[in-house]
Amino acid sequence: MRLTSLACVMALVLTLPVRAEDAPDDDYMTRVQAGRDQYLLKNNIYRATREFREAMRLSPDRHLAFRGLGACLVKRGGADARGAADRERGIFLLVEALKRAKDDALTQYWLGIAYSNHKKPGLAWHHFSIAKATLKKSDFPDEKAWKVATDTIDRLMPEAERAGGAKFDAAAAGPVARVMLEYAANLYGDMSQITEASVPAGQALVKELLLVQAWDGDGRVLDPAKVALKWSCSPGLVQKDGLFFAGDKPGREQVFVSDEGGKVTASVTVTVLGPAVKLAIVPESATIAQNQSQPFEVKGLDAAGNTVLVPALAWKLSAGSGLARPETSQDGENLLEPHRNSYDAPEGAEAGTVKVTASTPDGSLTASATVTVEKRRMDKLQSRAKAVAWENLSLDEALKKAAQVNKPLLVEITASWCPFCRKFEEGPLSDDKVGAALKDWLAVQVDADQHPELVERFGVDDLPMVALLTPRGSMAGGFGNNMEPNGTDPRTTTDAFIKALSDARANVPRVDEEETRRLTESKDAGKMEALARWYWDKKRWKDAEKWARDTMAADDKRGEAMAPFVVFSQLSYGNYDAALKDLEAYLSAHPQSAAAAQLLYYKGLALVRQKHEDKAAAVFAEVQKKWPTSVWARKAAKAGKK
């Protein structure tokens, strides 16, 4: 009940434009509003943190960015134990907001909510009492938001009072029990790194953004003037006159702070960025046909391999034409975004190899790639689907391209001998309406006979099967896989297929936002297992395997659930030796595991793929004998007949 109210309050209190360009001219407020929108509308705490950090960097003395990010983290942390880290960072930033605007009633209000969720009734009551006395209707966008806020205080404040909150002395500070430290400069790192920052080599860290707080055992924030702190840093930084300076060598460094006795410490990681010494282009080679395009990404790297700013690049071809843009630029505030460009092969383009080169304006750094342009070749399977512009790529290559161009991917799994496949391809996949619906999609075709591991990867029971994937490779929808058993004539499925495409396209942002939320939340073994299961459900086997391994490393007892994920991922990518090695190692260490039947079934599949039919048959027979009533026995029996 409490979290539902919080969501309402957050949405009402922070009602703002969706796009940064719709915000006021003040660049600080543009950043603050964009940060709120990234979390409230897109649930992306990484991009939200980045926007709020940029606002803090622009005006370290203003409070709104600190309050905004603090409120987002409080909302994200919720009220359960797993959200404690987010709540504590939220409280930390809200306190920083109060330092900059001590009379801000909304900050007091959010601190009340944060401490209420954090089971600190004394501090919750203290901040709610201040908020109740100082909040004004003008602090809110409308009457409804004002009412939700006052109702929230009227509900939570008595709860805090019943828990003894009114008797709590917020001013009676105890000894230092915890120190918190954060460098709130520009965000640096991947989506899982939402507390790290960077500094160019030779420059000083911004003193106003090196934030530190000391808390006592009851959660009170102590007066910094009354707490003696000791500062230090790793060798790649230099401490001088109360500032920290980055050395000349790029790498990851740390700033440390502790109380005078050294009993409580905190640290923050800062990446020192050197000058660009290399350009990296992806891909380094590609093959395309007429009416196709090949995207490229280029980023600058320093001597340590860190991504660094390269403000501008010039692009050129060794021959021919077709670059979408002759030059690209990179905004200094978008450090981790690479330069992007695309080469198009128009209708009638001559076959041959073209060299694409990106270079800095002075020519000191270059990166090159080759593009082979070929006349469109369509094999017999592709030629049956006349409305689809197939990519002449493997599935892995198509997935990389989909991510680069940010387009969803259609994967058709078919076979030359399959009559239902032919009817589907000569029917719906040759219909101009389907061609129009696929204009924003990439499409790749997979021959089931040539790639049996992909049949397993996508769980194909019946051909044809169409997997509809997000640009990141997650399942957003599907079609087919059951036409023959259901007695469906594939030639009559055009409208249903177009609807499946539309539904999957609408589902893409939801799936990607859900992935971002799961990646950026704090993780215990349970959260890691849930993420592995999510990737499993979305057919992202390598990612499922990664998180399954991390889960087992964190909690060996979860191996019964996670070991099959690891082994199946190996199977689905044709890594049969690795699959056999992993399952044998797990079963040797856990001979009584409940996952034994499933893993032995997978062993049989691996042996089949390795052409060891007799050994596979023996394994399938063992599964049926030991676990006769299990689903794996039925699967083993079916596989044994094949």
**Structural domain boundaries of the chain?**
2-167, 176-273, 276-377, 383-520, 523-641
Q: What is the mean pLDDT of residues 541-566?
A: 91
pLDDT at 323: 45
pLDDT band at 8 (very low <50, low <70, confident <90, very high): very low
Cα gap 132→135, rounded to integer Å: 6
Query: Across-strand partners of 235?
Result: none
Extended beta strands in 400-538, E state = 409-414, 442-447, 465-469, 475-480
Residue spans of beta strands (DSSP E) within 65-218: 176-183, 197-200, 210-216
Q: Is 70 exceeded by the pLDDT of residue 302? A: yes
Nearest to 549 by CA among 540, 537, 538, 558: 558
> For residues 324 and 27, what is the distance between their CA atoms, to the nearest angstrom?
30
Domain 176-273 indexed as CATH 1.10.3720.10: no
Q: In terms of Cα–Cα distance, which of 464, 414, 417, 456 is closest to 609?
A: 456
Q: Are 471 and 403 in contact (CB under 8 A)?
A: yes
The reply to whether 276-377 shares the fold of 176-273 is yes
Evaluate if residue 343 carries a pLDDT over 90.
Answer: no
Residue 452: what pLDDT? Answer: 83
CA atoms within 13 A on the CB side of 200: 7
Higher pLDDT, 393 or 53: 53
Q: Residue 613: exposed, middle, or buried by beta-carbon count in 10 A (0-12, 13-18, 19+)? A: exposed
Q: Tokens 């543009």 sit at which residue?
A: 30
Task: Return the pLDDT at 545.
Answer: 93
Cis peptide before 283 (omega within 30 of 0): yes
DSSP state of 323: B
Q: Which stretches within 348-450 are classed as H helix?
A: 380-383, 395-405, 419-426, 432-437
Task: Please choose, from the candidates 617, 611, 534, 601, the residue with its C-alpha nearest in 3D space to the C-alpha of residue 568.
Answer: 601
- Please write the tens of the pLDDT for every residue from 484-541: 666 678 888 999 999 999 999 999 988 988 888 888 877 788 889 999 999 988 989 8
CB 111 within 8 A of CB 50: no
User: How much is the average pLDDT of 430-443?
Assistant: 92
* pLDDT band per the 50, 70, 90 thresholds, residue 367: very high
Q: Report the pLDDT value the prediction gives residue 485, as an integer from 0 to 100.
A: 63
Q: Which helix (H) or strand (E) holds 285?
A: strand 285-289
- Higher-pLDDT residue of 430, 39: 430
Mean pLDDT of the chain: 86
Residue 326: band (very low, low, confident or very high) from pLDDT cuts 50, 70, 90: very low
Mean pLDDT throughout 568-577? 89
The Cα–Cα gap between 245 and 256 comes to 14
**276-377 fold:** Immunoglobulin-like (2.60.40)
pLDDT at 623: 93
Looking at 10-24, 26-40, 293-307, 358-372, which range is the least confident one? Answer: 10-24
User: What is the DSSP secondary structure assignment for residue 42, as one 8-state letter?
Assistant: T
pLDDT score of 304: 93
**pLDDT on residue 572:** 85
Choose the CATH number for 523-641 among 3.40.50.300, 3.30.497.10, 1.25.40.10, 3.30.420.10. Answer: 1.25.40.10
pLDDT of residue 25 exceeding 60, the answer is no
Q: What is the pLDDT of residue 96?
A: 97
Sign (positive/negative) of CA torsion 150, 155, 156, 160? positive
Which of 35-49, 141-155, 313-327, 377-391 is most confident?
141-155
Residue 327 has a pLDDT of: 54
Helices 105-117 & 143-162 angle (0-180, nearest 10): 50
Domain 383-520 has CATH 3.40.30.10: yes
Q: Is the peptide bond before 428 cis (omega within 30 degrees of 0)?
A: no
d(CA 175, CA 182): 21
What distance in Å separates the CA atoms of residue 458 and residue 64, rounded to the nearest whole number?
47
Percent of the chain with pLDDT over 90: 52
Q: How many CB atoms lie within 10 A of CB 507?
A: 17
Write the DSSP assignment of 591-640 as a string of letters: TT-TTHHHHHHHHHHHHHHTT-HHHHHHHHHHHHHHSTTSHHHHHHHHHH
Condensed to tens digits (0 to 9), the pLDDT of residues 181-235 reads: 999 988 887 777 788 899 999 999 999 999 999 999 999 999 888 889 999 999 9
- Please check the confidence at residue 5 and state whether its pLDDT lies above 50: no
Whole-number pLDDT of residue 642: 66
| Distance set, CA 398 to CA 8, 351, 392 (Å) | 41, 21, 9
Mean per-residue pLDDT, 131-144: 90
Q: Which CATH class is domain 2-167?
A: mainly alpha
Q: Please name the residues in contact with 596: beta carbons below 8 A apart, sequence gap of 6 or more.
A: 587, 626
When pLDDT is cut at 50, 70 and 90, the band that residue 338 belongs to is confident
